[in-house]
Structure 1
């Protein structure tokens, strides 16, 4: 568990650096609130997931690449992390403190953003508890006798872990006060969708039972839409 906590602390430090370096100040109460929520939800979720799938958490605590991972998948996962979980906070800090490109979201919208941010991380944790094979890279895991995950949120959409990303990225930008940063989330979300489609192709071709599961659970991210 110490390794997992260290990884979560590192992730929070990266986000904090992006926020405060872009802002040029530590006197940003909304950034501190966002970091507090991030740490509480991720640490609580890690404890809950560790009770059922400690091996998955330990692997996710490593670098987000794997020797068996294809080059395109490495590029996509690093692209999502760089443009989304670093780029969006950087642009929010620049916009709120220096650029002022658009008016700030009103308080109800900002608070809705913070709630969406927290719910996004909760959804990721729920997905991890339901999927013993949710590692960071797209690859089959014969060493774990991988099977199709179809419990919990996987009963409603095929990729609930990815479905959390719009809530996290757009929600954080709205809470921080930047419509521009919220709009910039379109780039990492586009990369995420491309990666999702590549993952679907691999799973349909190589994971027994996935085709039947995809027929049964029709939607990828949002029930009734896609």
Structure 2
């Protein structure tokens, strides 16, 4: 049953992602249903996300369950209203980003295409981002989508959390940046909306964690990097 739930969870993410990315590519002037980079990206995403979520559901059920919550938590968890608004805004930004990439590749051509080796580097970065993101969730059974009260929550300072304080966000940014390069949209990489939204979200999360977890301030002093070890 856990594996089936994990498959459903993965498809609930993958199907809208595929529609938002591939349908504009097919319908845009000069576009195509057979977009090699887009199909390869979605194929990689499908294999990784489905495999990772099934493995997590079976071997790390607490980490899997905490990610199944919606973007608006139950009232009992006292989620700040601004967090719910921020999460919904983030989803809208992500949807717009996915639609923008094929439109830029086939219609807008806002910036010159990158070299093939840069595109390949982008794919490697996206794969690395997937690993970092799923490692963060695997190691942290409190990595809920929302900022709210969780019973028994404590600071996680091992694994990837010993290097940076927010590996989940770092992995997502790697996926966004690498994906934009691989898919051929330098303009999507150049936009700062995802980075700005992520930094705002980190600021909100850290303010909440410092207030609710007594050990978090000490952890933040020991692990200085939020997204990049020892740097930022």
Per the TM superposition, whether the score is higher than 0.5 is yes
Per-residue CA distance 1:84-120 (angstroms, 9 max, x = gap) = 3x22221111011111222211111111111111111
Instruction: Indicate yes or no: 2:217 matched with 1:211.
Output: yes
Structure 2 match to 1:193: 199
Match of 2:122 among 113, 117, 126: 113
Q: Is the Cα–Cα contact under 8 Å of residues 79 and 188 in structure 1 kept in the other structure?
A: no
The equivalent residue for 1:46 is 53
2:156 corresponds to 1:154: no
1:158–1:221: 8 Å Cα contact kept in structure 2? yes
State whether structure 2 residue 165 is matched by structure 1 residue 133.
no
Counterpart in the other structure of 1:21:
23
CA distance in 1, matches of 2:53, 2:214: 29
Instruction: Figure out how many residues of one structure are paired with residues of the other and give that number.
Output: 222
Correspondent of 2:82 among 63, 72, 83: 72
State the alpha-carbon separation in 2 of the partners of residues 192 and 175 from structure 1: 21
1:6-17 map, 5 Å: 6-17=8-19
Instruction: Find the counterpart in structure 2 of residue 103 from structure 1.
Output: 112
Q: Which runs of 5+ in 2 are unaligned?
A: none
TM-score by length of 1: 0.92
- Higher relative contact order at CA 8 Å, sep ≥6: structure 1 or structure 2? 1
Structure 1 runs, 4 residues or longer, greater than 4 Å off: none
CA distance in 2, matches of 1:150, 1:47: 25
Is the contact between residue 6 and residue 54 of structure 2 (CA under 8 Å) also seen in structure 1? Answer: no
CA contact (8 A) 2:69 2:144 kept: no
Provide, for residues 51-85 of structure 1, a one-character-per-residue CA deviation record: whole Å limited to 9, x for no partner.
4431332342342321232221112222222213x
Counterparts of 1:141 and 1:124, CA distance in 2: 21
Cα shift at 1:38:
0.6
- Unaligned stretches of 5+ in structure 1? none
Query: What's the TM-score, normalizing by structure 2?
Result: 0.90
Per-residue deviation, 1:50: 2.7
Partners of 2:114 and 2:93 in 1: CA distance = 22
